[in-house]
Structure 1
Amino acid sequence: MGIFWFSCAACQKEEVDAPDEKEEIEVPETGDVTMYITTNTRSQDLNQQAADFSDKSNMSPTTIKLEPETQYQTMDGFGAALTGSSCYNLMQMTQKDRTAFLKQTFSDSEGMGHSYIRIAIGCSDFSLSEYTCCDTPGIENFGLTSEETEYVIPILKEILEINPNIKILGSPWTPPRWMKVNNLEDLEPYNSWTSGHLNPAYYADYATYFVKWIQAFEQQGIDIFSVTPQNEPLNRGNSASLFMGWQEQLDFVKNHLVPQFKEASFTTKIYLFDHNYNYDDMADQEDYPVKIYDAGIDEEVVVGAAYHNYGGNKSELLDIHNKYPNRELIFTETSIGTWNDGRNLEVRLIEDMREVALGTVNNWCKGVIVWNLMLDSERGPNREGGCQTCYGAVDIDKSNYSSLTRNSHYYIISHLASVVKPGAVRIGTSGFSDPGYYYSAFENTDGTYAFVLLNSNASSKLITIDDGNNHFSYEVPAKSVISYRWKK
């Protein structure tokens, strides 16, 4: 597989072991339609191109028609997690290189326009150490740590300078250890970063912990758009973790977190669950968020549920939507690594675009967030007990903290974010639907249409897109992704 390395200082590609032949493509500088194209061989690598509307009548049998009168969910955005490890790596770059990369990633005018970020409340399994923001017993001892003040917050501030409209989601991996017990029967202290339960005696203090954390970021000029009560609440084994079954989450959120959010006059949204499609095969936890909805919980603050894809099938999203169509869905984590050939774009671009990007959006997710934005070339920094086999959406060469290689997760998020802007509405389509083609259409708030198309087949095909007023055609390369945007 050909790999392209990117030198941020020059913002130009340096080919390493590149394909022998590049596609010779005549690229128009301007046109009615802006396109971004990536092939799984990197012969086109987020290449920006243009096409013009056709002035001929459309008789093409491979026409996809947009149906804007059919509307689905409103989009919040697309992005990746800014873990402590990601922020550490970013801070090792020169200011010039870092600014170039962040503009390329987050700028809506000069880059891909990534629009949603996930950060940890306290440590995650990709932090520089295990910690919370209140490790000394007593909620009055809350305070941000050096990981926030030296890495996460400075990077967030730089991103907000580039894109002030970025949405930020916060998720805790563990509460302070002094709030943990071994189980809800014995209620014995459980002084471990891994597993345990939240002691009901500290539900109020832990809700205050969330409030203090959000307020601490607000004081830094950083608004928190949304939170989840617990990352992977059914996973006891992560290096920082907590078991929180649906009944525990119901009690904590309904009786403590929501009231304290309201008292603080927060507009921050709460998304339940934040774990796998298959509920880790725990029968009593199946339909986790639905059980909480059924029990009755505030709809204005608790807006929906979040999902990961480490187990089960994306069809679960549609099932949850059908049971509670007024509740929101977001997708908050997926990883690539040594176990799934994570650096092989020939494999991962197709599968990740189909399952993660278009697969979640076409099953009602308002946002799509992948895991680490940036890891180094040794898959770190990482910790014992955490994932030591994960790759980043982008990997940075640890020998120089300058050369970057973009993996599938960077491409799939960029193909969505570059044309589908926050506030866009997913709309209906009809017409061409051959096997191997996957797509989704959107109407942006600025009067533009967006269309994202995956061709997973081994041959190219001329595809026509028709919005009812204008149509255009383009030869979609084999095993490629194309994002289109045009004015109505």
Structure 2
Amino acid sequence: MSRVSLFWAAALLALSAGAAALPCSPLTFDEDSVVCVCNATYCDTFPELTPPSGADVLVVTSSRGGDRFAVTSAQFGPEACPPEWVTGVRVPQAETRQQVSGFGGAFTDAAGVNINSLSPEVQDQLLRAYFAEEGIRYKLGRVPIAGTDFSERPYSYDDNPGDESLEQFALTEEDFLLKIPHILAARELAPDLQLFGSAWSAPAWMKTNNDFIGIGFLKTEYYQLWADYIVRFLEEYVANGIPIQAITTQNEPTNVLNSYGFWNTMAWTPEMQRDWVRDNLGPTIRGNANFSDTKIIILDDQRILLPDWVNTILDDADAAQYVDAIGVHWYRDGDAPASLLTDTHKLHPNVPLIATEACEGSIFEKTVALGAWPRADTYAADILDDLNNWVTGWVDWNIALDMTGGPNWAGNYVDSPIIIDAHGDQFFKQPMYYALGHLSVLLPHGTDIVAMEDPSDSLKGVVGLRADGQTVVTLLNRAEEAQQVVVTDATRGSVSLTLPARSLTSVLYATAD
């Protein structure tokens, strides 16, 4: 039997387990797993799961071997003590921690360019894959405020030197062609989609170096004008039918200070950001009757900056009153343990943490790696670590890129969970897409997280208590071989499972009263 036939046979077995779904249409490139192909007439979907009751258990698995949201069933039996060769996974009965706010991605210019390269039918398939009930149900979206490196040119909304009244402020064709139509379509599919805006740079003439790139700070005389500019963005998007629920203080304010100033960026020190939030941005947002509820997210940069950057701002009560959340990126997580997130939470327990950007294929890595399971593994591991350390949500970078990982005016190509083949009028769902789907669908908005210590060196996990009365245990097997595990919930008993090699498995069952 061919590999493709095996996939379809597995899908039929999944259907017999009580889950209706369109299975993956697999395609192999030169990596260790497959992509799933979507076109105008076909795209795989997330299975419809009937919430189990009593001792019943649903098991959803994606793996390097080709499983994609494969559904099987099991049952709890009496509580068992596993033998030495079986890994025991005990569901913690500890108090719940944070609530999940959701998962999502960014509506970049590059994503819009690529989505527009598809026929209308395939565009609809792509947006459904992310935002519809049969997709992975994204609830968060990041909206760049003007240009980023993932634009086809550097630009702002007022590239008119000396326009200190912002009279010439205007959205650009990128907004009207590449962002707004797709955001509106996503909101049709997910009416509860929450959006946050992030700027990469002020207009060049507002900066000390008069350039979008390089070492340039916001000129102090333009601190208030820059806050007014942000409000103008909010006004223009509302006028186009898109309310923005939050804004970040700026994307990666330390980028240029770490020698990554080759694309749109603007430098801040934490002291500068504190003063701007306290004296300009905060009062301007809160004092505007139309946008006073808009949340302000500080940092929006690497977690290696925790907790010092955050302390500088939040230890000033006059600045802290305007801060609603802390945004972190993942690019230097190898240099910064996840425990820094918990340390920050302990210092500022009333200010939620959210992961605001991540992607694979950056800097010295291969850009697009079609079918690379290690990238799904890295995504899942990072999300599980974050959830176990008080992070409430996780937002990916570009929702779609082309086969080279662009376009990107600065040549900073990367990977994406969905890669578009414009010539074939189709797109490829990467393994990363399925890793995100496990968490986005099965740990939805409002889920209470119960922290779990890693059961073993090769096994990571997290527990979620959902608002619909279901418990979810998500387990990441990072080993090269299958693992036998016994999952024990003191309120239910034990269930034995086999986790495929290099796989992500979600276990769903009814929470005991």
**TM-score category of the 2 structures, normalised to the smaller one:** 0.7 to 0.9
Instruction: Give the corresponding residue for 1:208.
Output: 228
1:1-20 deviations in Å (ceiling 9; x for gaps): 3433402323357xxxxxxx
Instruction: Give the corresponding residue for 1:84.
Output: 109
Q: CA deviation at 1:367?
A: 1.1
Distance in 1, matches of 2:457 and 2:389, equals 18
Say if 1:53 and 1:399 are closer, same or farther in 2 by CA, change over 3 A.
Answer: same
One-letter identity of the residue aligned with 2:376: L
Instruction: Give the corresponding residue for 2:7.
Output: none
One of 165, 169, 176 as aligned partner of 2:196: 169
Instruction: Give the corresponding residue for 1:437.
Output: 459
Segment drifting more, 462-471 vs 74-83: 462-471
Q: CA deviation at 1:120?
A: 0.5
One of 41, 59, 68 as aligned partner of 1:45: 68
Segment drifting more, 31-40 vs 374-383: 31-40
Instruction: Give the corresponding residue for 1:94.
Output: 119
Instruction: Give the corresponding residue for 2:254.
Output: 234
1:246-279 deviations in Å (ceiling 9; x for gaps): 1111111111111111112432211111112334
One-letter identity of the residue aligned with 1:205: L
SS of 2:460's equivalent in the other structure is strand
Query: Conserved in 1, the CA contact under 8 Å of 2:372 and 2:430?
Result: no
Q: CA deviation at 1:223?
A: 2.3
Percent of paired sites with the same residue: 25
2:348 counterpart of 1:310: no
Q: CA deviation at 1:239?
A: 1.2
Say if 1:2 and 1:40 are closer, same or farther in 2 by CA, change over 3 A.
Answer: closer
1:67-466 equivalences under 5 Å are: 67=92, 69-107=94-132, 109-136=133-160, 137=163, 138-182=165-209, 190-236=210-256, 237-265=261-289, 266-279=292-305, 287-299=308-320, 301-311=322-332, 312-315=335-338, 316-337=340-361, 339-341=364-366, 343=369, 345-354=372-381, 356-383=382-409, 385-388=410-413, 390-408=414-432, 410-429=433-452, 433-466=455-488
Instruction: Give the corresponding residue for 1:470.
Output: 492
One-letter identity of the residue aligned with 1:98: Q
TM-score w.r.t. the length of structure 2 is: 0.82
Distance in 2, matches of 1:468 and 1:106, equals 36
Stretches of structure 1 lacking an aligned partner (at least 5 in a row): 14-27, 183-189, 280-284
Distance in 2, matches of 1:214 and 1:464, equals 51
Distance in 2, matches of 1:71 and 1:80, equals 26
Instruction: Give the corresponding residue for 2:41.
Output: 10
1:343-363 deviations in Å (ceiling 9; x for gaps): 262322223321x21122212
Stretches of structure 2 lacking an aligned partner (at least 5 in a row): 1-31
Q: CA deviation at 1:92?
A: 1.8
One-letter identity of the residue aligned with 1:141: Q
Say if 1:442 and 1:2 are closer, same or farther in 2 by CA, change over 3 A.
Answer: closer
Say if 1:404 and 1:346 are closer, same or farther in 2 by CA, change over 3 A.
Answer: closer
Distance in 2, matches of 1:428 and 1:191, equals 45
Query: Conserved in 2, the CA contact under 8 Å of 1:195 and 1:240?
Result: no
SS of 2:344's equivalent in the other structure is helix
Between Structure 1 and Structure 2, the one with more strand by share is 1
Instruction: Give the corresponding residue for 2:79.
Output: 58
SS of 1:103's equivalent in the other structure is helix
Say if 1:192 and 1:433 are closer, same or farther in 2 by CA, change over 3 A.
Answer: closer
Distance in 1, matches of 2:321 and 2:190, equals 27
SS of 1:73's equivalent in the other structure is coil
Instruction: Give the corresponding residue for 2:25.
Output: none
SS of 2:95's equivalent in the other structure is strand
One-letter identity of the residue aligned with 1:132: S
SS of 2:103's equivalent in the other structure is strand
Query: Conserved in 1, the CA contact under 8 Å of 2:40 and 2:122?
Result: yes
TM-score w.r.t. the length of structure 1 is: 0.86
Say if 1:361 and 1:286 are closer, same or farther in 2 by CA, change over 3 A.
Answer: closer
Distance in 2, matches of 1:99 and 1:161, equals 11
SS of 1:360's equivalent in the other structure is helix
- The number of equivalent residue pairs is 454
Query: Conserved in 2, the CA contact under 8 Å of 1:314 and 1:363?
Result: no
One-letter identity of the residue aligned with 2:121: K
CA RMSD of aligned residues (A): 2.5
Distance in 2, matches of 1:102 and 1:75, equals 22
Say if 1:309 and 1:428 are closer, same or farther in 2 by CA, change over 3 A.
Answer: closer
